[in-house]
Amino acid sequence: MLDAIKDDASTRMGKSIDSLRLEMAKIRTGRAQTSLLDHVQVEYYGSEVPINQVANVNVEDARTLTVTPWERDMVSKVEKAIMNSDLGLNPSSVGTVIRVPMPALTEERRKDLVKVVRHEAENARVAIRNIRRDANSDLKALLKDKSITEDDDRQGQEIIQKLTDQHIAEVDKVLAQKEKELMAI
């Protein structure tokens, strides 16, 4: 039973870190990354679909993305979807290729983005601590039902705490990497 609780907590904490990485990828650093456009939705024959299902997204250079729609009549729709997204980008189309230049970030904007990144990291830490609390309450419930001994309970809590410390250290590592990326010119 202890292994099941430990495995569940470890899996959930890992998912929290994966979620954090996903959120961090959405925060742009001034460098062109294809993941930047992942959440942009394009109208395609009456339904909203992700941009990568109607076009090929590539990095042309450090500051430019190229988007090549698979159908010629989709160029204007894709361009409009990028323009209307919350990213603040101004795409320009040349034939069937849409170029999306990344504007340089100001120092003030970089500092704002660092605050956002720190907030996301704190949310991940809180999620990990909540998972620890859930696992510890599961252990207490087993102890109350006399399914495990007090020594098993104490050992289980130590294991869960070590897992928590490892995952919070991973969050801090992801945060430091993203902050460094944001503050680089």
| Residue ranges per structural domain of the chain | 2-26+106-183, 34-101
Q: CA-CA-CA-CA torsion for 81, 55, 117, 102, nearest 10 degrees? A: -80
pLDDT at 93: 86
Q: How many Å apart are CA 37 and CA 137, to the nearest integer?
A: 41
Write out the CATH class of domain 2-26+106-183. mainly alpha
**pLDDT tens profile 6-33:** 999 999 999 999 999 888 877 766 667 7
pLDDT at 169: 95
Per CATH, which fold does 34-101 belong to? Gyrase A; domain 2 (3.30.1360)
For residue 7 the two structure tokens come to: 């495995």
**pLDDT tens profile 116-135:** 889 989 999 999 999 999 99
